[in-house]
A and B are shown apart, each in its own frame.
Chain A
Amino acid sequence: MVALVSVPRNLLGGDSAAEIMSEFGPEHLRLLRFCSSRSSVADLATDLDLPLGVVRILLSDLRERGLVSIHQPATAGLHDIRILKEVADALRKL
């Protein structure tokens, strides 16, 4: 749900929209546009106003084709006191 999606840099200037369209549908293309700035699967679902499950399926199609990469966020942060203190400090400034 909070896995992060990104478009590999070398692909940004590569496949043209038409090429991708011929292979996929307009939903894929729309999703791909939103992926250009690194966001989580949940972010994409809300940006596109699509259910989470639909976004997951579209993303898996795109990943199979190597058009996006999906990273699990660093859960190590949960066990790192330094990071958690940084989070607490930042929240205090809200």
Chain B
Amino acid sequence: MPYANSEQTGDRQPVPVAIKILVAGGFGVGKTTLVSSVSEVRPLRTEEDMSEPSSLVDQLEGVERKTTTTVAMDFGRISISDDLVVYLFGTPGQRRFWFMWDELAYGALGAVVMADTRRLADCFPSIDYFERNGMPFVVAVNCFDEARRYPSETMRSALNLTDDVPLLLCDARQRASSRDVLVALVEHAVARLSSGQHVTPAR
């Protein structure tokens, strides 16, 4: 079992391995559904500095000195063993929450970028972000019942994906389907490591 040295804090308890996976994509694309179909999902609140655009959205009348806003993220935990845990973070999809991504991305294994064929452009910013950071990611197209199906090649070219980025179709409501997406991401990270590309913590 994997142990690492603990920080210099006096006691010698082994430190477990925590694997952090981000689930990103546009608003309403199914991030919460995916996280909750594979794990027990709980809202994680965080006080964040308010960005310019959000101050236009959040009504500040009467609280002009308020400079932070509460953001809720989806947070899921999958315990694999006593010393191996997978954490899932559903990153807020709206443009005004991008400023949180750097902290979320730090030390993450990789990301699942969720896409909806009816609003494909919504996932462009996520793809750009992970490409720029050199973080492994897979694209999971959530197959909504009412959405039109397209061949993978058409979607790959619409998303301008390089050949090495896996693209999967999924149904985020189905546990098995969401699980396959996570497995694909971990396998993608393994493949990158095997080919000598390091999974570098972003920042």
- Take A46-B43, A75-B201, A84-B190 as given contacts and tell me if A70 and B86 are in contact as well, using a CB distance cutoff of 8 Å: no
Q: Is A74 within 8 A of B103, CB to CB?
A: no
Residue total for A at the interface (Cβ-Cβ under 8 A): 44
The docked-state distance in angstroms from the alpha carbon of A84 to that of B183 is 10
Q: Which residues of B contact A52 (CB under 8 A)?
A: 44-47
- Take A45-B44, A77-B2 as given contacts and tell me if A69 and B19 are in contact as well, using a CB distance cutoff of 8 Å: no
Tell yes or no: A1 within 8 A of B by CB.
Answer: yes
The docked-state distance in angstroms from the alpha carbon of A73 to that of B182 is 20
Q: Which residues of B contact A50 (CB under 8 A)?
A: 45
Q: Which residues of B contact A77 (CB under 8 A)?
A: 2, 4, 17-19, 84
Q: Which residues of A contact B129 (CB under 8 A)?
A: none
Bits for A71-82, please: 1 = Cβ < 8 Å to B, else 0.
111111111111
Tell yes or no: A65 within 8 A of B by CB.
Answer: no
Q: Is B190 within 8 A of A81, CB to CB?
A: yes
Does more than half of chain A's interface fall in helix, strand or loop, or is it mixed?
helix
Closest chain-B Cβ to A7's Cβ sits at a distance in Å of 9
- Residues on B lying within 8 angstroms of A by beta carbon are 2-4, 6-7, 9-11, 13, 15-20, 38, 42-47, 70, 75, 77-78, 80-81, 84-87, 89, 103-104, 107, 109, 175, 179, 182-183, 186-187, 189-190, 193-194, 198-199, 201
Q: Is B9 within 8 A of A70, CB to CB?
A: yes
Q: Which residues of A contact B7 (CB under 8 A)?
A: 69-72
Closest chain-B Cβ to A44's Cβ sits at a distance in Å of 10
Q: Which residues of B contact A75 (CB under 8 A)?
A: 107, 201
Give the 9 A-B residue pairs with the shortest CB-CB distance, closest first: A74-B4, A73-B18, A77-B17, A69-B9, A52-B46, A90-B80, A46-B42, A88-B186, A51-B45
Q: Is A74 within 8 A of B15, CB to CB?
A: yes
Q: Which residue of B lies closest to A72 (CB)?
A: B7
**12 other contacts beyond A69-B6, A73-B16, A76-B17, with CB at 8 A cut-off?**
A4-B15, A8-B10, A51-B47, A69-B13, A74-B16, A77-B19, A78-B199, A79-B199, A83-B84, A87-B186, A91-B80, A94-B78
The docked-state distance in angstroms from the alpha carbon of A52 to that of B44 is 7
Q: Which residues of A contact B179 (CB under 8 A)?
A: 91-92, 94
